[in-house]
Amino acid sequence: MFFKNRLWNDFKGEVLESLRYGFASGKTIVPLKIEGLNYAFDFVRMLQVHIQTKNHRSIAWVDENCKPFFPGKFIDCDFSKVAQTNDADRNAKKKLHSDNDDDDDDVVIIGVKHESKFPNTRLLSKTEKTYLYIKSLFMNNVGHIDPNACIISIHDLHYSSPIARARWSVFEKQVEITEAARGNANVVYSWYAAPAEKVVSIFRNGFKLIRNYPQVRPSIGAGIFLANLESPQHSGMQHQVEKDEEKYLVLCRIVLGRMERVDLETHQTHLSNNDYDTGCDDPKNPHWYVVWGNDMNKRVLPVCVITCKTSVIKDVKWEMTPVEMTMVPRFYLEMKKRVPIEFISPLQDIYDIYKKDGMNMGVFKKHVKALLGEQKMAQIFKDIYDGEI
């Protein structure tokens, strides 16, 4: 909100979204260009400052718990009265560019794209609070595994264009929907490693399914696989990574909601039922997450890309990966092919318990034996062990 004519007024549209993003990123000052005028929003002093004239007025906000925050003193200013300074402001901006090109990195101009290796991004200065926070995430997780890991640069993704703002809004709406449905949206940070050209595509158009995936791993082409912050070695599950080259690690936010256990060996390509929102390797201690195709641009929001050098991100050798079938998932698939239709639903219930609680093969066999009977179960096991599949 801003204080004008003795009243508190709401910021709207792209201005509101840019301020919200800057505040959530931990920035103390967010420069913005609004209707041709340059401003600096100072969250510490709770002021909106017109850069050219230094005129200023109070700002305030309401947090996610609906708690308002107002300054101790309300300062009133109508910036429309300084519109005549627009030309002078533009000239000053041009001079600023010619005197110091580096300063442009700290300015966010709504609707204007900055030249960058990655679209809709800004190269962060190494002294910025956002840079330091992301660096700490990188060093505490990637650096913990690879002491020689180093950051070359960090590009912060900005949601200022109409398409980008729409992506942001869809993500925030998904947080609300999941919160209402599950009681907890379960929003976390994660890693996603990809080649530079893929990162460019993600930042410009969002995530897309991988079309040329190997048939031995159909799950890989059915969703987006991201790594838990503490398990960056799983961040490159979907892309070939060149050795001894710069790596590109995208920091993302995910709306996980309720997770189910996913076994890649079963070739799962979607949620098993509506009781779940996303998948992972182990709900109790996840190393990687999967968001299936229909939800990937609703539940995953890129934050920035870290250009780095590290040996943590492993190369995915798809062509060397055999069809690895662990016993429980393999047994489950074979039973589905062979049991009468009335047994499929209770069989699915048993398998869901396995995925959720991680029961061992002995316990799994005990449940199935009670359902099918010893003779039918023994025949299916014989087929598996004798290679008649």
CA 116 to CA 69: how far, in whole Å? 36
CA 340 to CA 240: how far, in whole Å? 42
CA 87 to CA 90: how far, in whole Å? 5
Q: Which residues are 47's β-sheet partners?
A: 42, 58
Q: Tell me if 31 sits within 8 A of 23, measured CB to CB.
A: no
Q: What is the pLDDT of residues 20-61, one digit of tens each?
A: 888 877 777 888 888 878 888 988 888 998 888 888 899 998
Q: What are phi and psi of 292, to 5 degrees?
A: -70, 160
Half-sphere exposure of 285 (CA within 13 A, CB side): 1
pLDDT of residue 330: 66
pLDDT of residue 344: 83
CA 112 to CA 282: how far, in whole Å? 43
Q: What are phi and psi of 207, to 5 degrees?
A: -75, 145
- Could you give the 3-state DSSP secondary structure of residue 98? helix
pLDDT of residue 159: 81
Residue that has been written with the tokens 């995953």 in this structure: 300
Q: Tell me if 191 sits within 8 A of 312, measured CB to CB.
A: no
Per residue of the chain (389 residues), what is the pLDDT tens digit? 898 888 888 888 778 888 888 887 777 788 888 887 888 898 888 899 888 888 889 999 887 777 778 888 888 888 776 655 455 445 544 444 444 444 333 344 443 344 568 988 989 999 888 899 999 999 999 999 999 999 999 999 888 777 888 888 899 999 999 999 999 999 999 999 999 999 999 999 899 887 655 554 666 778 899 999 999 998 988 876 666 578 999 999 999 999 999 877 667 788 988 999 999 999 999 999 999 988 999 999 999 999 999 988 876 654 433 333 456 776 777 777 777 788 888 888 888 877 666 566 677 778 888 888 888 777 777 766 554 43
pLDDT of residue 385: 57
Q: What is the pLDDT of residues 192-235, one digit of tens each?
A: 999 999 999 999 989 988 765 555 466 677 889 999 999 999 89
Neighbours of 147 (CB within 10 A): 8
Q: What is the pTM of this model?
A: 0.57
